[in-house]
Chain A
Amino acid sequence: DAGVTQSPTHLIKTRGQHVTLRCSPISGHKSVSWYQQVLGQGPQFIFQYYEKEERGRGNFPDRFSARQFPNYSSELNVNALLLGDSALYLCASSLVGGSSYEQYFGPGTRLTVT
């Protein structure tokens, strides 16, 4: 079975631009969460979507938004990019919304903002 997939693998953007990151969960998983990992730190929670509805939001500005599609894949959008948005963006999927112990993470998208 394929694991969580994310695209693109790497991305370079300029300050002020917009970026869209994509995530495909494991087949059958209905919950998708997004995390930001800055170099040297642990991942920080951004969003969780379950059954296409937002179920949780971390402490991130409104420039960050996300959505989940009917096939349970998800997009993370970041507007007006700042240098500080440079990070590894991780997507995690789980079978049900409340089962945090079995979250399966993708390899991440490395975003560099110049």
Chain B
Amino acid sequence: DAKTTQPTSMDCAEGRAANLPCNHSTISGNEYVYWYRQIHSQGPQYIIHGLKNNETNEMASLIITEDRKSSTLILPHATLRDTAVYYCIVRADQTGANNLFFGTGTRLTVIP
């Protein structure tokens, strides 16, 4: 699985959009980009994933560059509850194996 690079920490004002970058320059053609987050004292929570097209769901949007070497997770209107560690994970979907390789993630702090 490709390695990812994320900033250690970021701050965002409440109500503003939070843009979390992720570099995955060695990504392969069959590898997806996944985002999970972990709120303090809880297990990780799935947010969104994509292959090469931009994706949007009720939680966030995922923007993947055309060369797929980087992506950005966007929380459109950050709230205090979005304060968490956000993990960008790149892996290929493989039948029978669903292990995730987490890095150290980005600690997002939403400021009132």
Residues of chain A having any CB pair with chain B under 8 Å: 4, 31, 33, 35, 40-45, 48, 50, 55-56, 58, 90, 92, 94, 97-108
Given A45-B100, A100-B34, 11 new contacts (CB under 8 A): A42-B102, A90-B43, A92-B44, A98-B93, A98-B95, A99-B98, A100-B99, A101-B46, A101-B49, A103-B44, A108-B43
Can you list, as one digit per residue, whether each of B14-29 has a CB less than 8 Å from chain A (1) or not (0)? 0000000000000000
Cα A41 to Cα B102 in complex, Å, equals 9
Size range of the chain B interface in the assembly: 20 to 34
The answer to whether B46 touches A102 (Cβ under 8 A) is yes
| Partner-A contacts on B (CB < 8 A) | 32, 34, 41-46, 49, 85, 87, 91, 93-105
Closest to B48 in A: A101
A45 engages B101 (CB within 8 Å): yes
In the docked arrangement, what's the CA distance between A56 and B94, Å? 11
A45 to B89, CA, bound (A): 13
Q: Which residue of B lies closest to A40 (CB)?
A: B104
The interface residues of chain A lying within 8 Å CB-to-CB of B44 are: 43, 90, 92, 103, 105
Which B residues are CB-close (under 8 A) to A42?
Answer: 85, 87, 102-105
Identify the closest chain A residue to B95 (Cβ): A98
Most buried by B among A33, A43, A48: A43
List of 9 A-B pairs having minimum Cβ-Cβ separation, nearest first: A105-B43, A42-B102, A100-B98, A45-B99, A98-B95, A101-B49, A56-B97, A97-B96, A56-B99
| A41/B97 in contact, CB under 8 A | no
Residues of B within 8 A of A92 (CB): 43-44
Q: Is the CB of B96 within 8 A of A100?
A: no
Q: Are A101 and B95 in contact (CB under 8 A)?
A: no
Instruction: Give the CA-CA distance A70 to B88 in the complex, in Å.
Output: 34
Residue numbers in B under 8 Å from A105 (CB-CB): 42-45
Task: Check if B43 sits within 8 Å of A97, measured CB to CB.
Answer: no
Q: B residues within 8 A CB of A48?
A: 97-99
Beta-carbon contact of A98 and B97 below 8 Å? yes
Given contacts A100-B93, A101-B32, contact A107 B42 (CB under 8 A): yes
Q: Which of A4, A31, A94 contacts B43 (CB 8 A)?
A: A4
